[in-house]
Every structure is written in C-alpha cells, then in structure tokens.
Structure 1
Amino acid sequence: MGDATSLEQWQWQEWQGKSYLTCQLLDQWQHGFFTQSFAPQMPEKLALVFDPQASAHRVKQVHGNTVLSPANIQWEGQHFSQADGLISDNTKQALFVASADCTPALIGDIKTGQVAAVHSGWRGTAKRILPVAVKKFLDAGSELENLRVALGPAISGEVYQVSIDVALEMGLSLGFDDLKDEPEAMILALENIENSPLLFDAEPDKVRLDVRRVNQLQLEQLRLAPEQLAIAPHCTYKESKNFFSYRRSGEKKVQWSGIISH
C-alpha cells in the first residue's frame, strides 16, 4: 500500500529562478503548486510555465463546494463565476485555484486525461468538495481506480487552531450524523480515528485540525486506494520563505496551483 505522505512523491522544480512543487502521481500532466515567489502573477501568466498553447481558467472562490467546467465559467460583472473547483471539458485547459492556508487539490484521470483543480479549506471540506469533484469525474465516465489526487501545501494540523464547532462540522462531513447532538461523543469519535485529524490544544473549546487528513478520510470513504493519493509534506504556516499564510500574517496574499488537461 502507498504512503500518502511520502517525501519521495514530491519534487521541487525551477522556472526562471523561481521554485514550484510537483507530485510524482501527476507526472503525466503538466502541473505545479506554485510558491509565493511567483506572486503577483495570475494564472494567465503561470500557464506559460506549463504550455504556451494552453488556455487558463479560474473562478471566484467562495469556500463552497461548486465545481464548474470551463464552459460554465462566465464573467459576472467584476469577477468570474463563483465556485471552488474546476474540471476540464477539453484538452489543453490549464485549471487553477488559489490558496493561502486552505488545501489545493489537483486531480487527474490517467485514462481519459481529464483533470480538476479544487480549493478546499475547512468550509469546503465540511461541504465535501473533493467527493463532489470525484463524482464529476465518475459522471463523465471515469473509473475511480484511474483517478490520482495530490493535496498540496496547506496549513498543518499541528499549528491550525479551530473551535470545537469547526471540528463538529468535520465529524458531520465524515458521516457521524448520529452524533450531531452529542458534541462530546462526536469529538471522541474523531479522536478515535487512526491518525486522527484532531490534535490537542491547551485552550478551552479549541482543537488543532488537520484538514488534509479529513480530505483524505473522505476520499478513503469513496474507496480511493492509498496509492492514488499524495499529501504534500509542506505547511504554509511554517514555511514562510515559500508560502503565503493568512493565519500567519493576516495578509490576503495567495499562491496558485494548476494542472493542464490532455
């Protein structure tokens, strides 16, 4: 069985003296999790790193669970359509999401070449945006076993303090609906999960939350095999030289992650 957090899955790449991260699971696609050194470049420029012929696509991210195809993205006055995920509907489409502590997820189907880019913070995770994206693939004819998922740099559980209410939302997203009126039992159930997404916090009514682990558990519930998933061993909060972190600085600065369909 594969180790989702294996260091060997991840490689640093260079472009014009700037670093970005790639994942071995997604080797058949041009892709990357960009660092803050690329700021303030937008996807239209970043796509040139991969393929000058590719069309770049992004959305107005709103911490929801809507996943759109480029054909459904429109310019709505001052911004693009509101969504937190994109799934390709043609070849040479560069799909991008922005993040500062939230999880950027890039997904590809090794048989069809279709790809998706997803932004999954705790709110999107509570709304199960990754399972929504996976369903989009399956509806388009993908087989689950052909999907590959890479969860990029995000804030790690060791440093991400949240309220108990947020932890309860995670429990509901994992199917503990019968415990929704029993907060203590819900927290205990989450703590009893192997490699629990909850970590201790000394402050009352607070816990530390590993959002990427919750995403991983949701994908496991869909029967995605461990070797189909990779989780970047990088924390946006801790690695200030490489990544912006809203929790660390309070600044609304982001790094982009993208992947091109074929």
Structure 2
Amino acid sequence: MAEPVEVIRASALAGVPHGFLGRRGGVSGGVTAGLNVGLGSADDPDAVAENRRLAVDAVQPGAQLACLYQIHSSNVVTVRECWDEADRPRGDGMVTDRPGIVLGILTADCAPVLFADSQHGIVGAAHAGWRGAHGGVIEATIAAMEALGARRENIAAAIGPCIAQESYEVGEDFRREFSEEDGRFFTAGRAGHWQFALEDYVAARLQRAEIARIEPLGLDTYSNERRFFSYRRSTHLGQDTYGREFSLIGLPQ
C-alpha cells in the first residue's frame, strides 16, 4: 500500500486549511523519491503532476493551486484567480482573500512561511530563503495582506521545515551581507566559516513586523533525508537533481 501524504500542521494556523509537506506519500522514484513537486527537477513530469494533485487533495480537496516562478525576491502577487503553470508570475510571496484557491510555496532548505488573518479571511505564503528574507519578502507579504484588509495584530504565521543552523555553514562573504545587530544569528564554525540560523532570522523579521503569533516548527530539512528534500544535502552527495516540497494554505470554502 502506498505511503500516505504526511501533512504537518501548525497550531497557530488552526482552523485554516494548510500544511507543510515533505517527501512522504508521493509517486516519484530515484533521487527525488516521494512527493516531489518541483517542475524544475529532473523528474518525470507526470509524477510531479500527480504529486501536486495528491498534495492539494491532502490539504484542501477541490481547491485550485496557485504557484509562482520563484526567484528569491521580495515580489508578492495578490491572487484573485489561478493561472496556467506556463504563465505563473515571478515572485516569492502570494496573498489571497478568495476561497477555493490554495497558495503553494516550494522549498528545499529555504524557509516557507504561511500566514493567516482568520478574522478577515486573508491568507498568505512566502518563500523566505536568506536572500528573500533579507530583501523584505516577509514584510512585503504582510503589506499585501493588509492591502486586502488584514490587520497585522490578527495575523498568525508559521515557519515550516527549513535548514537548521547546525546544517547551514556559510562563509565570510555571506556573513558580511548582514548587519552587526544580526550577528546574533551566526555562530562561529571552522576557520573562516559560520553557522547561520535561518529559522531564527525569519522569526525575528516576523517579530519586528509585530505579527501577533509566530510558530517556528523547528524541523531541519538537511538532516532528515527520509522526511524532507534538501538542496544542500543533494549537492553534498553529488546528486544531479533534487526534490522540492510544498507548503500550502487556503481559506475554508
């Protein structure tokens, strides 16, 4: 019997259809075995399409899926209707107030952030790698939600599976991208290197934005090969491709 799709939920988003998905429960094989939803991976396109269908059905059956062409930016799209995959906008954040649409963010070490203002019926999703988070994608997603009528004091946010500090070694050039104040997100590693706490950094950006409730899930994509895809792990293993996992959120229908 096929393994069921694993849906990881956050208590901060209770009552809102959502889920952080890993690699369990899909139909792909080989290096991308499991629930690989990455169109850019070297995987069978039919398997990827089936994995996407399984993912949406596990979180919000019958919903339409909206995804972006992600570019590590602060660009945010307000979704009023879905589009064909070939026409997906370039950006890294989405918001909607339309029931029946599920927002899908792809990651493979970067931090997925799901947002909900349940009182006003508005949700959002952001792909927050270090570059996007540093560039303001979190704040831009919150602003786009507010433009639809959300209030940040009502917004809850959850940070899904991403690479943990002990797994995320970076160099001096990377460290210099950040302010001295943000030095608290780095610990010294081997000579000339640092360990970066991406999840803590994203949580701090949310705190500075005065988000009402923040829930980091504390799940490391790199160290748990059976449960999650990881770009960095695949690179270290010399694999020629890597899978991507979904984080999904929508509004009750």
Kindly indicate whether residue 220 of structure 2 is the aligned counterpart of residue 212 of structure 1.
no
Corresponding letter in the other structure for 1:260 = G
Alignment deviations for residues 53-83 of structure 1 (CA, whole Å, 9 cap, x no partner):
311111111111111122376558x452111
Give me the whole-angstrom Cα distance separating, in 2, the residues matched to 1:165 and 1:217. 22
- Structure 1: 5+ residue stretches without partners: 1-14, 172-185
The equivalent of 1:221 in structure 2 is 208
Report the 3-state secondary structure (helix = DSSP H, G, I; strand = E; otherwise coil) of the residue aligned with 2:205: helix
Task: Evaluate the alpha carbon distance shift between residue 249 and residue 131 of structure 1 in structure 2; reply closer, same or farther with a 3 A threshold.
Answer: same
Does structure 1 retain, via aligned residues, the 8 Å contact 2:96–2:145?
no
Identity among equivalent positions (%) equals 24
Kindly indicate whether residue 239 of structure 2 is the aligned counterpart of residue 249 of structure 1.
no
Does structure 2 retain, via aligned residues, the 8 Å contact 1:74–1:80?
yes
Does structure 2 retain, via aligned residues, the 8 Å contact 1:122–1:211?
yes
Does structure 2 retain, via aligned residues, the 8 Å contact 1:158–1:199?
no
Does structure 1 retain, via aligned residues, the 8 Å contact 2:75–2:93?
yes
Does structure 1 retain, via aligned residues, the 8 Å contact 2:5–2:55?
no
Give me the whole-angstrom Cα distance separating, in 1, the residues matched to 2:97 and 2:207. 26
Kindly indicate whether residue 186 of structure 2 is the aligned counterpart of residue 201 of structure 1.
no
The equivalent of 1:53 in structure 2 is 62
Give me the whole-angstrom Cα distance separating, in 1, the residues matched to 2:144 and 2:53. 25
The equivalent of 1:232 in structure 2 is 217
* Count of matched residue positions in the alignment of Structure 1 and Structure 2: 224
- Structure 2: 5+ residue stretches without partners: 27-34, 37-49, 236-240
TM-score (norm 1): 0.79
Report the 3-state secondary structure (helix = DSSP H, G, I; strand = E; otherwise coil) of the residue aligned with 2:99: coil
Task: Evaluate the alpha carbon distance shift between residue 72 and residue 113 of structure 1 in structure 2; reply closer, same or farther with a 3 A threshold.
Answer: closer
* TM-fit CA distance, 1:137: 1.5
Task: Evaluate the alpha carbon distance shift between residue 127 and residue 73 of structure 1 in structure 2; reply closer, same or farther with a 3 A threshold.
Answer: farther
Task: Evaluate the alpha carbon distance shift between residue 170 and residue 71 of structure 1 in structure 2; reply closer, same or farther with a 3 A threshold.
Answer: farther
The equivalent of 2:32 in structure 1 is none
Report the 3-state secondary structure (helix = DSSP H, G, I; strand = E; otherwise coil) of the residue aligned with 2:146: helix
Does structure 2 retain, via aligned residues, the 8 Å contact 1:44–1:56?
no
TM-score (norm 2): 0.81
* TM-fit CA distance, 1:16: 5.8
Report the 3-state secondary structure (helix = DSSP H, G, I; strand = E; otherwise coil) of the residue aligned with 1:108: strand
The equivalent of 1:70 in structure 2 is 79
The equivalent of 1:180 in structure 2 is none
Q: Which runs of 4+ in 1 moved over 3 A?
A: 40-45, 71-76
Give me the whole-angstrom Cα distance separating, in 1, the residues matched to 2:23 and 2:159. 17
RMSD over aligned CA atoms reads 2.0
Does structure 2 retain, via aligned residues, the 8 Å contact 1:64–1:84?
yes
